Amino acid sequence: MQRISRTVDAPRDLGIAGVIAVPEGAPVEIELRLESVMEGVLVTGTARASAEGECVRCLEPVELELDADFQEMFSYPDSDDRGRSKAAADDEAEDDEDMIPLEDGMFDLEPVLRDAVVLALPMQPVCREDCEGLCSECGINLNENPDHHHDAVDIRWAALQGLAGSLGTDEKDNMSDAASGVDEKQEK
């Protein structure tokens, strides 16, 4: 068993394009635990990095620290899943597609790291949990203007609202009295 700590530069496209990602070349701290087992090398680790993106509600910049844990088995190229040499293994046994082979005693950690980091990123990052977002009418940031609102006019009632505005106050009162009398008659 061996423990290794390294800081590496983030590869390109480490994240969700246009949403949140670790910038290319940003430092990624990796702590690894390498264990020799019968089938190969078991790699267990943690990756720490800073991700940048924008809030999906208010479009303000978001920066978050993330920890991504991962574990992967890298198998010896000449052994089967039980540690026996392939020559001794049954010829009809199917190769395990989940096993990643070691190549010349080396393993490529980038695909494993990419999977772990992308899965640890939020799909909808927000600047804070109670972010109000943007006004759907005019686009103003509701976090900065919490009392902002629009008087919504339902176009289905617009004609009646125009009719109510054209009637005089006396006519409105007479109509409301007549309407209340009708209601009383209908109740009896």
Q: What is the pLDDT of residues 35-57, one digit of tens each?
A: 988 888 899 999 999 999 999 99
For residues 84 and 91, give the distance between their C-alpha atoms in angstroms, rounded to a whole number.
13
pLDDT at 90: 45
As given in the structure block, the two tokens for residue 26 are 């940003």
Judge whether 120 and 64 are in contact, CB under 8 Å.
no
Judge whether 78 and 86 are in contact, CB under 8 Å.
yes
Mean pLDDT of 28-41: 91
Q: What is the pLDDT of residues 125-161, one digit of tens each?
A: 999 999 999 988 888 998 898 888 887 777 787 777 7
Q: CA Rg, the chain, in Å? A: 33
Judge whether 25 and 45 are in contact, CB under 8 Å.
no
For residues 42 and 75, give the distance between their C-alpha atoms in angstroms, rounded to a whole number.
8
Statement: the pTM of the whole predicted model exceeds 0.85:
no
Mean pLDDT of 110-124: 92
For residues 100 and 107, give the distance between their C-alpha atoms in angstroms, rounded to a whole number.
8
Roughly how many angstroms between the first and final C-alpha of the chain, as a whole number?
Answer: 92
In terms of DSSP bridges, do strands 61-75 and 100-101 run parallel, antiparallel, or are they unpaired?
parallel
121 three-class SS? coil
155 alpha-carbon distance from chain centroid = 37
